[in-house]
Structure 1
């Protein structure tokens, strides 16, 4: 076995600079001098025989191609080292250290509060960092090793992910409570063709809505876009149009208290699965497996209301 000439500390310093984007910010985070940090990064580059960063005066640092390639490996290596330390100390009761979960923005309000509450109760020694974004952005960060797990719809998954299904949902139409179709058991989207479709303007939700319209042989002659689910619902509450959404709060009121109705869509037999994903390209760790098992136990208990 060949012993690497670089150290875990150097990998940790490299990771800090990559995340902070400046030497000064990374040095502050690590509580070391900028000179010591620069020297450590330089030594790592010498040992690996590659340039990891491009230094730009007054503009911080930018990862080179080789630096981006190293990023995921560095995170995996440091995670494995933390696993080893935990095993040696025999700390098997709870998770420890920092873990990151990315969640598709519309799913976050339905899933993350319950997950955080259970996590803090059962793993008080660990830190759980969360971020919400589009499916595409979350997938990219997962493959770069910037998060341990991702929660997203099946249409955002890729072959490079290992996925666990949490539950499924069906698209439904949101109407003002006084709409002429509000009393229908289900709504024909063709009957809304001359009305404004208030679109949730975040991919892939935007493309999915347009695909549903095409599948049912109809169009939206007028469109209005919003990048927030609550803004979409508020616009519908004001009678500005209708919307097609997957998740719905248990209350049928907009932020302003305008009444809404949520109805099944006639002739639409489509289900979307909510998945929890890991990167297939990163080596699994015991800590990662325990985090996955914990999240599955919490998120599969009950399907979100609405």
Structure 2
């Protein structure tokens, strides 16, 4: 069986674009070239990769999605091999596509990316942000070779390696009557308006946190944006619970926010790197994974003395 890298790249591009016309534009080739590549590979492997929808593009079949996941991995290794062959040096080079849970990306990725680029200029990191569900789907599909996320709802096919533990804190406006306390019980503040980070799995985590204390939070606002939530807190619209505390106590629009320890001492969340268990770890990926682990050591970028 012969499957060309070019044809595989056309098929992956079609899956990403959702249409032959979109992938042709992305790859800068004619639509017949894309269609011919799809037809050839479908004939070679004896199964349909796509379902054609009249005027609505294309979606992958179950077999097609598995094929495309494997094709992504193969294409990534092929690109890395080509770069290594061109360089013919001992220096590791290439591109690594990394995912990060959005709140972790905001807090930690700027420092990680800047320092890694200084140390390893030959490795380019392509960063994708998302919620926990986005990140896990990216890893299982092979689109993300490595990710930083929480150890929550991680499937068996994904390997998680520990980076850090982040305890939850209550965030209130500096003008809140209890802002000077330093510590607060969820039962004490549970009757006040709560501002929820409304992301898949995240909302379950927060509701379980309150449930463990016998509290039903009064959700006043929901948002997928951590910065919007901090802004609402800064303006006194309610309180929130947050784990990845930023390096500043100011909201995006300059309002002061206070982080309070929680008296009940809820269990911390575990921050991990995620990778697909069956995927071989390329040298560039391993270097970035090692660097992230180093960043959370006591003498690293983030000693996490919150």
Q: Provide TM-score, normalisation by structure 1.
A: 0.89
SS in 1 for 2:16: helix
Does the 8 Å CA contact 2:132/2:150 hold for their aligned counterparts?
Answer: yes
Residues 139 and 147, structure 2, Cα contact 8 Å, conserved in 1: yes
1:132 aligns with 2:129: yes
Residue 183 (structure 1) shift: 2.1
Q: For residue 71 of structure 1, what is the aligned residue in structure 2?
A: 68
How far 1:49 moved relative to its partner?
Answer: 0.8
2:274 is aligned with 1:277? yes
2:224 alignment partner in structure 1 = 227
* Unaligned segments of structure 1, at least 5 residues: none
Q: Give yes or no for the alignment of 1:94 onto 2:92.
A: yes
SS at match of 2:183: coil
**Alignment of structure 1 residues 210-225 onto 2, 5 Å:** 210-221=207-218, 223-225=220-222
1:155 aligns with 2:180: no
Q: CA deviation at 1:276?
A: 0.7
Q: Secondary structure at the match of 1:136?
A: helix
SS at structure 2 position matched to 1:276: strand
Alpha-carbon deviation of 1:178?
A: 2.3
How far does residue 219 in structure 1 lie from its aligned partner after superposition?
2.7
Q: 1:185 to 1:56 in 2, by over 3 A?
A: closer
Aligned partner of 2:185 in structure 1 is: 188
Contact 2:209 2:266 survives alignment (8 Å): no
Match of 2:18 in 1: 21
Q: How many Å apart are 1:269 and its aligned residue?
A: 3.8
State the Cα distance separating 1:122 from its structure 2 match: 4.2
CA distance in 2, matches of 1:299, 1:130: 19
- CA RMSD between the two structures: 2.3
Q: TM-score, normalised by structure 2?
A: 0.89
Distance 1:178 1:84, change over 3 A: closer
1:146 matched to 2:143? yes
Give SS of 1:107's match: helix
How many residue pairs match? The answer is 302
- Is 1:165–1:273's contact at 8 Å kept on the other side of the alignment? yes
Q: Are the structure 2 counterparts of residues 11 and 91 from structure 1 closer, same or farther at C-alpha, using a change threshold of 3 Å?
A: farther
For structure 2, which runs of at least 5 residues remain unmatched after alignment?
A: none
User: Structure 1 residues 193, 62: CA separation in 2 closer, same or farther (over 3 Å shift)?
Assistant: closer
